[in-house]
Amino acid sequence: MAVLEILEVPHPGLRAVAKPVAVVDDSVRKIVADMFDTMYDARGIGLAATQVAIEQRIVVIDLQETVGEGEDAKAVRTPLVYINPELISVSDETNFYSEGCLSIPEQYAEVERPAACRARWLDEQGEAHEGDFDGLLATALQHEIDHLNGVLFIDHISKLKRDMLLKKLTKMRKAA
Ligand code: NI
């Protein structure tokens, strides 16, 4: 188990464009395992390799959705791996989610994105897949693919909102 350091804004590494994974081998599977350790440790639902200073196109997601109600409610882990993920198409219909990011701690903003998308990717064995995404998973996948291209969720909001959010982050860091 290895928990990696997560880069935070304004680290320039977050603006790097990651390179495609050439061969899905044990070294890639080790990165995937470390990324899950890091994401669960930070209580996140998604992580892109660029956030841990690895410039390869690797994404892990686990929405850890709650199953059951009341005392029986518990978050169930469903780890998902996307290597070299690519959007094939996106819906015209959009929706808004209050997005956060482990690289922009404790800051949230409503981001508008296509409500659904179709993507292709490789799994941990190097097998190719194609599939349709909607709901929170579509949002999470688009957010993480953005990271691989050096794009952050704050790039999707107005400059006014972005400046306010970054100011709050600076204040929070000073208080810590
Ligand atoms: Ni993020």
pLDDT at 62 over 90: yes
- Active-site pick, 55, 86, 130, 144: 144
Per-residue model confidence as pLDDT tens digits over 2-42: 999 999 999 999 999 999 999 999 999 999 999 999 999 99
Give the Å distance between the CA of 55 and the centre of ligand 1.
15
Instruction: Write out the two tokens for 32.
Output: 């995937």
Query: How far, in Å, from the CA of 169 to the mean position of ligand 1?
Result: 15
Instruction: Give residue 176's pLDDT.
Output: 87
Considering the segment(s) 12-175 as one domain, its CATH architecture is Alpha-Beta Complex (3.90)
| Distance (Å) from CA 27 to ligand 1 centroid | 23
Model pTM above 0.85: yes
127 is known as an active-site residue:
no
Structure tokens at 89: 């198409």
For the chain, give every domain's residue range.
12-175
pLDDT tens-digit map of 106-134: 999 999 999 999 999 999 999 999 999 99
Residue 51 Cα to ligand 1 midpoint, Å, equals 8
Average pLDDT for residues 127-143, to the nearest whole number? 98
Binding-site residues for Fe cation, please? 101, 143, 147
C-alpha 112/C-alpha 89 separation (Å) is 16
Q: What does the mean pLDDT of the chain come to? A: 97
Residue 32 — φ and ψ, nearest 5°? -60, -45
Neighbours of 124 (CB within 10 A): 14
Q: Find the 30 Cα to ligand 1 centroid distance in Å.
A: 21
Neighbours of 29 (CB within 10 A): 14
Cα–chain center distance at 65: 16
